[in-house]
Amino acid sequence: MRRDLSAATLVGFTLLATVPAYDRVFSTPSWRGPAVAAALLALVLASLIRRLHRGAWVAGLVSVLGFVAAAPWLLGQNARPVLPRLSVLADLWQLLAVGRTELAETPAPTLPLAGLMLLVIGGWWLVAHVAHELSVRWRRPGFALAVLAVLWAAPLAVPMSDQTGWGRTLPFLAMACLTLLVTGSEDLPDETRVPVPASGVALGEAAIAIGLTMPGLLPGYAEPAWVQLGASSSPRGYQPIVDVSQRLGLPEERDVLRVRASQRTYLRLAGLESFDGDVWRLGPPGSGSYRPDPASLFAADGPLPPEQQAANTESVQVDIEVLELDNIYVPVPYQPVEVFGPIRDDMIWSTEGGFLATWDTVEGEVDGEPRVGIREGVEYRVQAARPAPTFDELLTTTVDETDRERFTSLPRDYPELGAQAEQVYEAAGATTTVERALALQDWFVGPDGDFTYDLDVPALRGEDALTDFVLEDRVGYCEYFATAMAVMLRQTGIPARVATGFLPGRVTSEADPSAGIEFTEYTVSTADAHAWVEVLFPGAGWVTFEPTPRDDNSHILPTENDLTPIENVAERREREAEESEDDPAADPTIPDAPDLPEADFQDPSATGDQAADEGSGSEGADPSAWLLIVAVVAVMVAALLLARRRRDDRGSDRTPQRRVLDAQRDLLTTAARHGVGRSAHETTVELVERWRFERRIDERGVVVAVAAQAAAFGGTVDTSEAAEVERLVAELEQMLRDSVSSQDRLLAPLRLPLGHVQRWGRTIVERLVRWRTDG
């Protein structure tokens, strides 16, 4: 028992020694809690089963069930551990696929996304269980170390350029040495069977050999790998950039989102910071594959830090259902404050570019091109605070030099565009940043610029394409306009960037507060794909400007009076037309600060009372499941108590005879469980002789057998003999366990029934033969 405990403790500490290795690939330490909890739970569960003298199969089954029950809780998806239900299994399965995508696509160090975390806690759980079984049940701590080494090596195998991994490997190596020292003697090869030199020397040589080659295999050491395992596929990361033109150019318009929003709003995917002369990209210029600074990444399972502080904001709330979306960026109103819904565990919020990304995706293709898209049917709710500065407020803002330099950088000089911009500013009398931005926007959309919106133009590629567009052709679509305006702003020293996303979409179901429908439902299609310009006003946030004169007037145009309008151009014109006819005071009423609508998912921040109030509609509140849990727990406790009772009954006032017989029974039970049990016709003495012949035990078995027979068949046994027998039986049990190979041990539960079947078969055949010969 003490040996079991110390072996299990060693496994536990060795598991903990792998923590530094994992710290390397996670940008925050929040992964530790769930992983360590999973490992400890698995260890405790395995030890408990072992303590109850149940077999390896039972332990495995209980462990799997325990994991399914505990995983949602460990992942923080559920406040309480629940009975494994099919829905939970389906969710875990789904999450597993997400985890695999995340593993392949997310560059390290990464946030502990839900999918990755499932893989991590699953791995820790599995390794903890297997290591426990190997180390405690089968007394093979060496094999257990091998399994633990796999767990430890996994994060070190993640290629990262930055830091060395030597320091992170030391705790594990120390624990491994300790384990070998404490338990090693049993694992050394038996000299009678394998001709090896003195085992210590062999072990040392093997360790040196492994130590010399392994670092080469593990990039985590920051040494070049001697052997490249598999193709060096680097994660795709965050750069699969949204191609607006491709969406707009689709032969068939497709619905991509269904949105219920408190007000009309652009749904933004990302703010693109760097321009290479042709396209806009995420992240700073020059970086082909973009890896966000880990410091700018945040898990989306709580309030999101703002990308830019905004003094005045306007609350926007939307419920979004993804119908078909071919990228990993989550469309949200800018800038999101918090996301709700289960998918948020798998989202990352980046304060660089201000985007939310998820790897809860599916592989697919759009018009023959392979694409990774957000899983269809995903629903989430976003609470956003849209920067809503007043015109006067923006007049006073100043940009610091770092930001100005960063957001005004261009791959080359655009003197013609700069001159044109200055010309526009002059014509409008614009002197401040906001005035200039509005002037430029109005020049693009208004009659002065004489631009035409048309999708049927060649892509904006080539040295002079942009200049030609602005100065000569003046025909294009949103990408042209947004790019042109952003470049012109930058050329004239105004920090700007291009945002991509979707227009608010078409109204498919009007809000009807009398019927309880608070929100208007919009449907967003591929035709609503859009790009626009954002200008940085420190203290007020990134403010949206709209240079594209969409021919359907579905864009929202900021004006000097209302920098953040909620009606689109078509509506505004309609209203203005009506106002000029009717009462000019009439103002469209919009529902502000609406109540939470009925949603398919539950707000995770809702308190338990609210959840209970919602009754049968909510998950996890199924009373029958809880009754079942209580019943199962009760039965288990009762069984435990009974098992204890039976052992305790043996306790105090047993006769020496009884004690010896109980010891014999224990021995026979252990033997049977390991597949070397007594055949019915064997007496204890014969059984022990057989074991000795099979080299499982030594002559101590004879002492036990003789004493057991004396106790059983009328001989005399005194207390000291009984104590001796009990001690010997414990040793014999251990020898028996050690004598059975792991494979035989696994097959032991099958051997007995198989033997019965074999005997029955033989009897039947014999009877048939005799019946035939008699007949």
Partner 1 sequence: MSTTDRTERSGPGIARQDLDDVGRTLEAVGANIRRVIEGKANVVELALIALFAEGHLLVEDVPGVGKTMLAKALARSVDCSVARVQFTPDLLPSDVTGVTVYSPDTGTFDFRPGPVFANIVLGDEINRAGPKTQSALLESMEERTVTIDGVTHQLATPFMVIATQNPIELEGTFPLPEAQRDRFLMRIAIGYPHQDDELAILRTHGGADRLAELRPVTDAATVAHTIRTIRTVSVTEPVERYIVAMCRATRAHRDVELGASPRASVALLRASRTAAAVAGRDHVTPDDVKRLAPHVLPHRLILRPEAELAGHAAGEVIADILDGLPAPTE
Can you spell out the DSSP letters for 91-109? HHHHHHHHHHHHHHHPPSS
Q: Give 598 or 686: the residue with its C-beta nearer to partner 1.
A: 686
Helix (H, G, I), strand (E, B) or coil at 700: helix
- Please confirm whether the linkage preceding 109 is cis (ω < 30° from 0): yes
What are the structure tokens assigned to 734, written together? Answer: 């251990």
Q: Which of 489, 492, 528 is nearest to 508 (CA)?
A: 528
Q: Give 112 or 677: the residue with its C-beta nearer to partner 1.
A: 677
Task: Give the span between the Cα atoms of 543 and 560, in whole angstroms.
Answer: 12
Task: Give the span between the Cα atoms of 300 and 305, in whole angstroms.
Answer: 10
Largest pairwise CA distance in the chain: 122
What are the structure tokens assigned to 262, written together? Answer: 């408190």
Q: Give 457 or 712: the residue with its C-beta nearer to partner 1.
A: 712
Q: Give 32 or 678: the residue with its C-beta nearer to partner 1.
A: 678
Task: Provide the minimum distance between the beta carbon of 723 and partner 1 in the complex, in angstroms, as a whole number.
Answer: 18
Task: Give the span between the Cα atoms of 596 and 518, in whole angstroms.
Answer: 8
Question: Distance of alpha carbon 417 from its chain centroid, rounded?
Answer: 46
Task: Provide the minimum distance between the beta carbon of 755 and partner 1 in the complex, in angstroms, as a whole number.
Answer: 14
Task: Provide the minimum distance between the beta carbon of 679 and partner 1 in the complex, in angstroms, as a whole number.
Answer: 9
Q: Give 712 or 723: the residue with its C-beta nearer to partner 1.
A: 712
Task: Provide the minimum distance between the beta carbon of 703 and partner 1 in the complex, in angstroms, as a whole number.
Answer: 14
Task: Provide the minimum distance between the beta carbon of 221 and partner 1 in the complex, in angstroms, as a whole number.
Answer: 59
Reduced 3-state DSSP string for 621-656 = CCHHHHHHHHHHHHHHHHHHHHHHHHHHHHCCCCCH
Task: Provide the minimum distance between the beta carbon of 709 and partner 1 in the complex, in angstroms, as a whole number.
Answer: 4
Q: Give 488 or 661: the residue with its C-beta nearer to partner 1.
A: 661
Q: Give 333 or 656: the residue with its C-beta nearer to partner 1.
A: 656
Residues ≥6 apart with Cβ < 8 Å to 624: none
Interface residues with partner 1 (CB under 8 A) are 655, 657-658, 661, 664-665, 668, 678, 680-686, 708-716, 770
| Chain length of the chain | 775
Q: Give 50 or 659: the residue with its C-beta nearer to partner 1.
A: 659
What are the structure tokens assigned to 461, written together? Answer: 């590629």
Task: Provide the minimum distance between the beta carbon of 682 and partner 1 in the complex, in angstroms, as a whole number.
Answer: 6
Q: How far is CA 294 from CA 106, 168, 304, in A?
A: 12, 20, 15
Q: How far is CA 14 from CA 1, 56, 266, 293, 657, in A?
A: 20, 22, 51, 32, 44
Task: Provide the minimum distance between the beta carbon of 732 and partner 1 in the complex, in angstroms, as a whole number.
Answer: 15
**Amino acid in the structure at residue 720:** S
Q: Which of 117, 94, 89, 88 is nearest to 25 (CA)?
A: 117
Task: Give the span between the Cα atoms of 325 and 376, in whole angstroms.
Answer: 7
Q: Give 309 or 683: the residue with its C-beta nearer to partner 1.
A: 683
Residues ≥6 apart with Cβ < 8 Å to 177: none
Q: Which of 359, 353, 394 is nearest to 373 (CA)?
A: 359
Helix (H, G, I), strand (E, B) or coil at 423: helix
φ/ψ bin of 675: left (φ > 0), alpha (ψ from -120 to 50), beta (otherwise): left
Q: How far is CA 453 from CA 244, 511, 532, in A?
A: 15, 31, 14
Task: Provide the minimum distance between the beta carbon of 738 and partner 1 in the complex, in angstroms, as a whole number.
Answer: 24
Give the number of C-alpha atoms closer than 13 A to the C-alpha of residue 683, restricted to the C-beta side.
12
**CB neighbours (10 Å) of residue 659?**
19
Question: Distance of alpha carbon 398 from its chain centroid, rounded?
Answer: 40
Task: Provide the minimum distance between the beta carbon of 690 and partner 1 in the complex, in angstroms, as a whole number.
Answer: 13
Q: Give 394 or 661: the residue with its C-beta nearer to partner 1.
A: 661
**Amino acid in the structure at residue 327:** N
Task: Provide the minimum distance between the beta carbon of 87 and partner 1 in the complex, in angstroms, as a whole number.
Answer: 51
Task: Give the span between the Cα atoms of 687 and 665, in whole angstroms.
Answer: 13
Task: Provide the minimum distance between the beta carbon of 67 and partner 1 in the complex, in angstroms, as a whole number.
Answer: 40
Task: Provide the minimum distance between the beta carbon of 661 and partner 1 in the complex, in angstroms, as a whole number.
Answer: 5
Q: Give 552 or 718: the residue with its C-beta nearer to partner 1.
A: 718
Q: Which of 514, 546, 516, 737 is nearest to 50 (CA)?
A: 737
Q: Give 269 or 729: the residue with its C-beta nearer to partner 1.
A: 729
Q: Give 470 or 697: the residue with its C-beta nearer to partner 1.
A: 697
Task: Provide the minimum distance between the beta carbon of 647 and partner 1 in the complex, in angstroms, as a whole number.
Answer: 18
Q: Give 150 or 672: the residue with its C-beta nearer to partner 1.
A: 672
Identify whether the C-beta of residue 137 lies closer than 8 Å to the C-beta of residue 50.
yes
Q: Give 485 or 688: the residue with its C-beta nearer to partner 1.
A: 688
Task: Provide the minimum distance between the beta carbon of 714 and partner 1 in the complex, in angstroms, as a whole number.
Answer: 4
